[in-house]
Amino acid sequence: MKYNNRIKLCLSFFLAFVINSIAYAQNTQIYRAVVVDEANEPIIGATVKVLDTSIGIITDLNGNFSISVPEGKTVEISFVGYATQRISELKQTRIVLKEDATQLDEVVVVGYGTQKKAHLTGAISTVPIDEIQDLSSGSLATTLSGIVNGISVKDGQARPGENARITIRQNDVFGEYGARATHPLYVIDGYIYPSDVKVGNNEPNLGADAFNNLDVSMIESISVLKDASAAVYGSRAANGVILVTTKKGKIGSPKISYSGQIGFTDEVSRPKMLNAYEYGKLWNAVRTADPSDTSLNTLSDLFQADELQAMKGLNYDLLDKYWKVAMTQKHSLNLSGATERANYFADISYFTQDGNLGKLDYERWNYRAGVDLKISKWVKANLQISGDYGEKNKPFIKIGTENEEKDYNMLLNRPRYIPENVGDYPIATIGPTNDDNMNALQNYSFAVLQDLGNYSQDMTQNTTINTGLEYDFGWSKYLKGLKLKFTYSKSISTAKNNQFASSYEIYKMEQRSGSGSHLYTGLNDEMMVDENFKLSTGSVITNGNFLSRWMNRADNYQMNFMAIYNRSFGLHDVNGLFSIERSEFESEYVEAKRNDPYEFTNGQSNGTTGSSDNKFTRAESGSLSYVGRANYAYDDKYLLELLVRIDASTKFAPENYWGTFPSLSAGWIITQEEWFKKNVKWIDYLKLRGSFGLVGRDNVTAWAWMQTYALNQDKGPVFGTSSTNNSGSHITIDNQRQAVNRDAHWDKNYKGNLGLDFNVLNNRLSINLDTYYEWNREIFMKRNAEIPGTVGSQAAAENYGKINSWGTELSVSWRDKIGKDFKYRIQVNTGYSDNKVILMAWDSSMKLKSVYPNQRTDTGEWGLQCIGMFRNYQDINEYFDKYMKKDDGTFGTYLGLAKDKVHPGMLIYKDIRGEVKTDGTYDPNPDHIISNEHDLVKMSHRDNPYGLTTNLSAEWKGISLTAQISADWGGYSFLPGSAIKINALSGGESVRDKKYNDLQYTSMPSFWKDMYVYENIYDAAGNLVVAENHSAKYPNLRFSENSESSTFWRVSGTRIKLNRITIAYAIPKKYTNRIGLENCRFNVTGQNLLSLYNPYPDNFIDPMTKYGNYPTLRKFTVGVNVTF
Amino acid sequence: MKIKNIISFNLLIISAVFNTACSDQFLVDKKNFENVNTEIYDYYSGAKGRVDDIYSWILPNVANVAWNNNSTGMADMDAKSTEEYSGFSQPSYVNPLAPLVTNTNDHTTVPDYFQYQTNIQVSVWGRIRNCNEAIHGIMNGSLSQDEKDELVGQLYFLRAWAYYNLVKYYGGVPIIKKAQDPVAGDDLTIPRSSAKECIDFICEDLYAAAIMLPEKWDGENYGRITKGAAWAMIGRVRLLHASPLFNRADDTGRWEIAYQDNKKAIDTLTYNGIYGLAYLNDPGINASNWAKMFNEVGTQNVEAIFLTLYNSEPTISGTNFNKNNNWEHDIRPSNALGGGW
């Protein structure tokens, strides 16, 4: 059917309902009263409704209302956080609302509708929006960490514009096994964002992007579906679902509220590195550590005594020079209001976060506007448009390989005796031997690239339109409770990236100062002549040297036709939903690139001289689903829910389009039982619930079922009689396309969950306990070579893997009042989770580190067992005699080294066992050989299995405090690889065979100043430059054997962090009212505040940061919220 | 409007909406824009692209003498002698205990033809899979029978060529006639056939090719397999089978077949004078005319029956038009169009 016809149809549909509306009038009475809370403070904005009519109003600034009530009708007064009251005898003039600790009347958004919290049977958590409203973040997901039990949040705390990633329960483990889908599904205002689509070369999760781009001031609620209750989203629900509802207007006069936030961001900590002098000594000690190395020239290879003396006064700390505290701010303005017939709202919000390093920033605009109309008593319509516009600027760095962390890493690692410039010449990171050809990264220069303005800029724009039309059959005696609803939502996302990459010159010096010619300072005039400065590597350094631009556009719509039934028959509550859902997605992408821009390039294609390259692609997909839900509650006591979703997706072969995902859950509110109420008085609320269902994991690339071919231009065979005939085009099956499995379909994920909700001590203590078990079946996984070679291709991936996962989540919260004014709440979230792999493509030859059947996906950390350090040759002799002597009298090797290659300053490892035997098991007897294959021990069983997050809040007369502290423990951590060995800079290995040379352009963390030195080191003039250090804590960096993963580098895994604190003050209403404000509140918020325990040596890094990467940012913000 | 009418009107609309929403035709209409699929076999250019692809993987590449290409021009027994003789002279051909070598560049040992098992383009079974896949695709496509014959004939020859090399090294091998689903658990294991069955299978392919292929191709398609080439290949295969390498009992029947088929090959090749001996009575000064046989193409060269062509396009970064025989170029003197002295 054509699009036009569809619109006509909708219109006539709409008209048909309008005609049905009926108006009427009755006798009325005016009812006036004041609404107060238990502390006798007026409640402003409480909703007063006359039941079974459309009459309603809200209380004014003094808590007063006046409403006309038709004869015989009941008035209902409700306010968030308070128990709703119904008044039928309209005489009471002072209505006291009681705080509702259990909030059982609270409505929770579930898939395709809402449900009373009391009637929930699944594991559905809600995010308390007021606890995250003061947090500053460019990525909404970061604010959820620690707030919802069972979800974890990663990243998003460092570079501006970086998105965080949410994992519900254990769904991240599948990523390690080739699973593509590990994000939860995001549903915003009923619109399911596409998560499994292709845009250009990427498969972005548009839902996660949309979620991270939301501004918290626009959000009414966030629900997290963790168990089989997600089955209503069928094939995409295995990773859990996050449902967001945005704010609507509230009945009453229009409101304008502003919330603003301004603050600064700074590093949580900076890695402690060696100073110039310590670095010089370290180099000398490393260079001389191998006594068998005869190539040592003590004058040219070592820093001389005078040079070291001079280095004591040098400190070219480039990171310190360029790192700056950056600003962040947010402003949002919300307008809203509602009358009986219309509900309107509009928001705009602006967020910006500057970078702490060079030209790096992120800014975003969000907007949203909409209206809900009640066209007649039985017809409702709504329209909402929302969107965001973001811009992210980053440096572009392609020295060596492309890696955006290089700026921070190279600034941090540069030895501090090398200045950035000498005279006008920018200086490459060239060390003692003046070798400029060790690693491309030596030629990185932060300042030069900043001056050149090499950049990468991303601009994104997303628009979503939601429309809906609802018709209520409330006028019919029989169809009462039935509603029909049609919704149509569409999102359009565009993204654009511009890159500018150029080339530059950087220098080395032929002659340098100091008696060994190692220093760049204290230069004489002869050294400052231009001839002394040569291009590093002898040529221009290219940082990519191109201009490029790509753009894409992705369109998706979702159309639902829904029938909703909701009716109570006496004690029976019946609820049902049926929906047909259809969605289609398409995306297009275009990119273009031109090489060799002029120095004066205008950034456009005509500003280049080189070759060009361009590309454009398209992708499309569609899905059709049938959704059904039925709820039944008897007397608010027995609850039952049945969900079914049938999904079809164009990802699969037509015969595999369809999948069915059912779930069943039930609950029993024991405290509603009369016999329980009578006998057990101390329990205020007790609910048992359980769910079981099947959902899908969308793990298969679209079209993977189909044999496809690559169109290869050229490179083919030559035919014809001319010797200039091209090597022609051909159509090939390459390695990506060779193994096709037509039967590919969704992974199956069976979810079981048992839950207990429990309130005691007059509802002050509440406990939520959920325990789950998930059976992941038919996981789409690659096979190892399990088919005969005669087939001629790799084995196709298949739906065959099996992983079980399980866990328990416990949330305990205590809320109480002390005296009249002091209220507080302590909430502790904790849990434990585990899993086992039942079937997967096992390693073809099982190693110690391999995953074995029925073992955890996290195989822990394996390494050598360190039992000390060789401090002299006698240690080595004793060790070899005792452990390494074979039966035939010869010595075994130590990590491949014969005894004469083993030197003091190396770590001693324990010989654990022998080699692997033909049957795959290991010889348990030590074989007098130390090997990093078979002498490994399990150093840590798994990542921290235990964790605890505490959320605190307290309030006293308008002053409130909230804080979050988290701890996790039970595993071990290891020093980062790049901190314990030379040659681990981002961007690759040295071209030199002697790896210690990489130390020439890489400084090391501060703890290395206590490094083992075998004997005193003298320079060419015979001066002592480094004293022997036999009692050192750390082995000599020279020997790469020391950086093998081993127990020596193990530290406690325990982490205790103070994540955030907010202190807020709300000006009492009696003052704000006088100046016409409804509400005025100030807050000071700190995020990523402190690590209370640091296991690292010399505290060289903070556990919140990653060594060598842009650090996690600590943020302090001051905010204000004003409502008029 | 009466309530009844309203309801029926509503129902009408609802059912209309329902019908549009429920039709899954829009799903079937979705296309894969990233790749082309088996539709290519409905077009001559697409099917030809597949055939050319198989040529590019399967033709001997003398520019790079490696395990997957026959030795040509190396100072080894393969190049210096007949196939059966080289087989005997290299003990590993006839010694079942001699290990096969995974990577051989010198061709003095027998290469392991089963290497790179997982690479469909490089491994020999991958090339056979490609042939099977393309034969199936073209046969089930919508091309005219003449077009199908012309393309499939070439593929039969190329499949036979791949099997011929296998049989030469291993004797009997499993015969795979269709591309198997690479899905574990299915019964994919095909038992090894005897050498005779393999030889017969190869010849069947070649007979089919000989029937389908033209006697000669037009100028732009020069270099493709011809009817004569197929017959010549049959002769070569029959001769290998009659040779002592396979024919230890010296069954004269095999020699008889080999003779007949080779005679047929010569008759086919020389019919209409398309092929023959080049410069038979005119070797030129210092046999310079005979040397030309490696440069001349088309009707000038009556001796080239099964050939890999190269071009003289220069190597330019960013393009792949060139296919140069560097090895040949390097060893040739400059007065014979080479790069040497």
Taking an 8 Å cut-off on Cβ atoms, the answer to whether B50 and A731 are in contact is: yes
Q: How confident is the model at residue B263 (pLDDT cuts 50, 70, 90)?
A: very high
Query: For residues B82 and B67, what is the distance between their CA atoms, to the nearest angstrom?
Result: 19
pLDDT one-digit tens code per residue, A330-366: 999 999 998 888 999 999 999 999 999 988 999 999 9
Interval A566-591 mean pLDDT: 92
Structure tokens at A517: 């010619």
> Residue A460, CB half-sphere, CA atoms under 13 Å: how many?
20
Query: For residues A1067 and A1063, what is the distance between their CA atoms, to the nearest angstrom?
Result: 13
Q: Does the CB of B53 have a partner CB in chain A at under 8 Å?
A: yes
Query: For residues B203 and A611, what is the distance between their CA atoms, to the nearest angstrom?
Result: 50
A655 → chain B, closest CA residue: B28
pLDDT of B110 reads 67
Structure tokens at A130: 């007021």
A841 → chain B, closest CA residue: B184
Q: How confident is the model at residue B254 (pLDDT cuts 50, 70, 90)?
A: very high
Buried b / exposed e across A621-639, counting CB within 10 Å, b at 16+?
bbbbbbbbbebbbeeebeb
Query: For residues A309 and A286, what is the distance between their CA atoms, to the nearest angstrom?
Result: 19
Name the DSSP class of A916. Answer: B
Query: For residues A706 and B127, what is the distance between their CA atoms, to the nearest angstrom?
Result: 20
> Residue A4, CB half-sphere, CA atoms under 13 Å: how many?
0
Which chain A residues are Cβ-neighbours of B56 within 8 angstroms? Answer: 715-717, 730
pLDDT of B171 reads 87
Q: In chain B, which among 25-44 make CB contacts under 8 A with chain A? A: 26-28, 30-38, 40
Question: Is the CB of residue A223 less than 8 Å from the CB of residue A108?
Answer: yes
pLDDT one-digit tens code per residue, A131-153: 898 998 889 999 999 899 999 99
pLDDT one-digit tens code per residue, A855-909: 998 889 999 999 999 999 999 999 999 999 988 889 999 998 999 899 999 999 9
Q: Which of A181, A218, A503, A235 is nearest to A369 (CA)?
A: A218
Chain pair A-B, CB pairs under 8 angstroms: 238
pLDDT one-digit tens code per residue, A263-317: 999 999 999 999 999 999 999 999 999 888 888 899 999 999 999 999 999 999 9
Dump the DSSP string for A303-324: --HHHHHHHTT----HHHHHB-
Residue type, A82: Y
Nearest CB to B49: which of A13, A19, A730?
A730
Strand partners, A1117: A263, A1085
> Residue A36, CB half-sphere, CA atoms under 13 Å: how many?
9
Interval B263-269 mean pLDDT: 92
Give CB contacts under 8 A, 24+ apart, made by A845-854: A845/A916, A845/A920, A846/A920, A847/A933, A848/A922, A848/A933, A848/A934, A848/A936, A849/A936
pLDDT one-digit tens code per residue, B185-233: 768 889 999 999 999 999 999 999 999 999 989 888 999 999 999 999 9
pLDDT at B17 over 80: no
Structure tokens at A551: 């753009």
Which chain B residues are Cβ-neighbours of A646 within 8 angstroms? Answer: none
Query: For residues A1076 and B282, what is the distance between their CA atoms, to the nearest angstrom?
Result: 114
Nearest CB to B222: which of A561, A650, A721?
A721
Taking an 8 Å cut-off on Cβ atoms, the answer to whether B16 and A714 are in contact is: no
Nearest CB to B26: which of A622, A709, A734?
A622
Least confident range from A135-144, A509-518, A916-925, B293-302: namely B293-302
pLDDT one-digit tens code per residue, B71-92: 556 666 667 777 777 777 666 6
Dump the DSSP string for B180-211: PP--TTS----PBPPHHHHHHHHHHHHHHHHH
Taking an 8 Å cut-off on Cβ atoms, the answer to whether A709 and B125 are in contact is: no
pLDDT at B102 over 90: no
Interval A1097-1107 mean pLDDT: 92
Question: Is the CB of residue B138 less than 8 Å from the CB of residue B155?
Answer: yes
Q: Does the CB of B178 have a partner CB in chain A at under 8 Å?
A: no
Nearest CB to A709: which of B40, B125, B176?
B40
Average model confidence (pLDDT) across chain A? 89
Least confident range from A822-831, A847-856, B46-55: namely A847-856
3-state SS record for A539-565: CCEEEEEEEEEEEEEEEEEEEEEEEEE
pLDDT at A74 over 90: no
Q: Which of A333, A329, A386 is nearest to A362 (CA)?
A: A329
Name the DSSP class of A1016. Answer: -
Give CB contacts under 8 A, 24+ apart, made by A653-657: A653/A705, A653/A706, A653/A742, A653/A743, A653/A744, A654/B28, A656/A705, A656/A742, A656/A743, A656/A744, A656/A745, A657/B24, A657/B27
Nearest CB to B182: which of A19, A703, A787?
A787
A587 → chain B, closest CA residue: B33
Query: For residues A83 and A224, what is the distance between their CA atoms, to the nearest angstrom?
Result: 24
| Residues in chain A, overall count | 1124
Q: Which of A298, A457, A455 is nearest to A392 (CA)?
A: A457
pLDDT of A988 reads 47
pLDDT of A216 reads 92
Question: Is the CB of residue A122 less than 8 Å from the CB of residue A225?
Answer: yes
> Residue B268, CB half-sphere, CA atoms under 13 Å: how many?
24
Handedness of CA B72, B78, B81, B82 (dihedral sign): negative
Percentage of chain A beyond pLDDT 90 is 59
Q: How confident is the model at residue B312 (pLDDT cuts 50, 70, 90)?
A: confident
Q: Which of B30, B112, B301, B317 to probe by mutation at the A interface, max A CB count within 10 Å?
A: B30
Question: Is the CB of residue A588 less than 8 Å from the CB of residue A616?
Answer: yes
Q: Does the CB of B66 have a partner CB in chain A at under 8 Å?
A: no
pLDDT of B65 reads 64
Taking an 8 Å cut-off on Cβ atoms, the answer to whether B174 and A790 are in contact is: yes
**What kind and span of H or E run contains A254?**
strand A252-267
Q: Dihedral angle at the C-alpha atoms of A581, A586, A587, A588, nearest 10 degrees?
A: -170
Least confident range from A756-770, A828-842, B130-144, B283-297: namely B283-297
Q: Does the CB of B18 have a partner CB in chain A at under 8 Å?
A: yes
pLDDT at A987 over 60: no
Question: Is the CB of residue A807 less than 8 Å from the CB of residue A771?
Answer: yes
pLDDT one-digit tens code per residue, A998-1044: 899 999 999 999 999 999 999 999 999 999 999 999 999 999 899 99
Structure tokens at A524: 């004489």
pLDDT of A983 reads 66
A473 → chain B, closest CA residue: B7
Nearest CB to B27: which of A16, A20, A648?
A648
Question: Is the CB of residue A753 less than 8 Å from the CB of residue A690?
Answer: yes
pLDDT one-digit tens code per residue, A606-660: 888 888 889 999 999 999 999 999 999 998 899 999 999 999 988 899 899 999 9
pLDDT of A7 reads 44
Residue type, A956: W
pTM of the entire predicted model: 0.88
Percentage of chain A beyond pLDDT 70 is 96
Q: Does the CB of B218 have a partner CB in chain A at under 8 Å?
A: no
Q: Which of A496, A617, A621 is nearest to A555 (CA)?
A: A621
Taking an 8 Å cut-off on Cβ atoms, the answer to whether B36 and A657 are in contact is: no
